Amino acid sequence: MKYDPQKKLNRNTQRTLKAFSEAMFGLLGEKNFEKITVNELCARCDYPRATFYNYFDDKYDLVSYCWYQLGKDAHLDAAQTLPTNESLLAVFDEVYRLFTTHHDLLNRVVEHNPVDGLLINDFIHHFNRVMTQLFANSLLNHKTKTPIELMAQYYSNTVLLVLKWVFLSQHDVSLDTARGYLTELLTKPFLSEANN
């Protein structure tokens, strides 16, 4: 991202970034991401193009900022201090709650953007990257023959697999049921049954 979201923000910058992210989310709920233009974004939030380019390189940069902001609502950093199994479930619970909170927005976005398209893949990739790093950090003191990076990616991919199935494929499943699916996927591997 062109703009460093870790920087301390003054009120004017907060207002501007919020306006652009709300404009993007609003337009994503109305049309395909590929058809959204910088001019539309600027018109929606009543800022000139020059202001847009002060903060973002292009609409892809803005959507990355939107994913970052959405991810902040999940409060995933707290999971790093938990033991691995608790960390995994804490991350799953938080992302499930985040997706539930923004369920209407996700439905509108999916209505106008294909689940296997660029926008949704970018959304999933963002959360995959964040969760893989969190899991890798919580696995640092874990003794295993499998490389930590590979295990972290496996956990992240499995968490996202369940969440994609629930929210993007629109299955009406409670948190407890979804947690059960995740636990079974992680603890009852196909190969162990094949060996019996």
Domain chopping of the chain, boundaries: 11-66, 73-188
Instruction: Write down the pLDDT at residue 149.
Output: 93
Report yes or no: 99 and 106 within 8 Å, Cβ to Cβ: yes
- Give how far Cα 93 sits from Cα of 78, 104, 182, Å: 12, 18, 11
Q: In whole angstroms, what is the distance from residue 26 CA to residue 46 CA?
A: 14
Report yes or no: 134 and 91 within 8 Å, Cβ to Cβ: yes
pLDDT in tens, 144-168: 888 999 999 999 999 999 999 999 8
Report yes or no: 162 and 182 within 8 Å, Cβ to Cβ: yes
- Domain 11-66: give its CATH code: 1.10.10.60
Q: In whole angstroms, what is the distance from residue 77 CA to residue 90 CA?
A: 10
- Which CATH number, 1.10.357, 1.10.3470, 3.90.660, 2.30.130, labels domain 73-188? 1.10.357
> Mean of the per-residue pLDDT values for the chain?
88
Instruction: Tell me how many degrees the CA angle 16-22-28 measures, rounded to the nearest 5.
Output: 140
Identify the top-confidence range among 58-67, 83-92, 187-196: 58-67
pLDDT in tens, 157-196: 999 999 999 998 889 999 999 999 999 998 876 655 555 5
Report yes or no: 168 and 106 within 8 Å, Cβ to Cβ: yes
Report yes or no: 1 and 67 within 8 Å, Cβ to Cβ: no
Instruction: Write down the pLDDT at residue 82.
Output: 59
Q: Where are the alpha helices (DSSP H) in the chain?
A: 11-28, 38-45, 49-55, 59-72, 84-101, 103-112, 118-138, 148-163, 175-187, 190-194
Instruction: Write down the pLDDT at residue 187.
Output: 87
- Which of 134, 14, 7, 3 has its CA nearest to residue 74? 134
- Which of 98, 110, 123 has its CA nearest to residue 30? 110
| 122-150: average pLDDT | 88
When mean pLDDT is compared across 49-53, 55-59, 115-119, the lowest value belongs to 115-119
pLDDT above 90 for 74: no
Instruction: Write down the pLDDT at residue 80.
Output: 61
Residue 32, Cβ density class (10 Å: 0-12 exposed, 13-18 middle, ≥19 buried): middle
DSSP 193: H
Percent of the chain with pLDDT over 90: 56
pTM: predicted TM-score of the whole model, two decimal places: 0.82
pLDDT above 80 for 6: no
Instruction: Write down the pLDDT at residue 83.
Output: 58
Instruction: Write down the pLDDT at residue 147.
Output: 92
Instruction: Write down the pLDDT at residue 189.
Output: 64
Q: In whole angstroms, what is the distance from residue 17 CA to residue 7 CA?
A: 13
When mean pLDDT is compared across 7-11, 19-23, 116-120, 187-191, the lowest value belongs to 187-191
